[in-house]
Structure 1
Amino acid sequence: METLDKATHSAHEAFDNIASAASQAAEALGEKGEQLQHAEKQLVENCRSYIRGNPITSLGIAVAAGFLLSRLLSGR
């Protein structure tokens, strides 16, 4: 019985360690997700600000990007 108790105790410890590691990983991923969302919002705001300040240049960039995409995706 003592061996069974030791094995059970070891299994519980291993499970607790795995659960703790999984919890820490989930927390770290949640923090990184929040950081990515903040970075995305900042990037969108920077783009909007640039477009407001440089509408003609922005239009030229959009036309050039559309032209390049159409050439790449045309399949010729």
Structure 2
Amino acid sequence: MDITDKAVNLAHETFDKVASTTNRAAEVLGEKGEQLITVEQHMMKNCRGYVRDHPLTSLGITAAVGFVLGRLLSRR
């Protein structure tokens, strides 16, 4: 085996390792993305339930947040 063949084999091995690692990372990111979607849906369901059960408190919170954001953004 000459040096060119060794270099080609090393390049192929390196490419295979990078491809394997990239595939695994993509799988993990896909799983985490699904988990985030599930958590988001759960939080939205809880939020809707809270607003439905406590409409006046929700309105007060919304007004307070709007006031604070308005003050923060008007300073810029």
Q: State whether TM-score is above 0.5.
A: yes
Q: Does 1:14 align with 2:20?
A: no
Q: What pairs with 1:1-76 in structure 2 (closer than 5 Å)?
A: 2-75=2-75
Secondary structure at the residue paired with 2:50?
helix
Task: Give the unaligned 5+ runs of structure 2.
Answer: none
CA RMSD, Structure 1 to Structure 2 (Å): 1.4
Q: Percent identity?
A: 57
What TM-score, normalized to structure 2? Answer: 0.91
How big is the shift at 1:2?
Answer: 2.4
d(CA) in 1 for partners of 2:68, 2:62? 10
The total of aligned residue pairs comes to 76
Moved over 3 A (4+): none
What TM-score, normalized to structure 1? Answer: 0.91
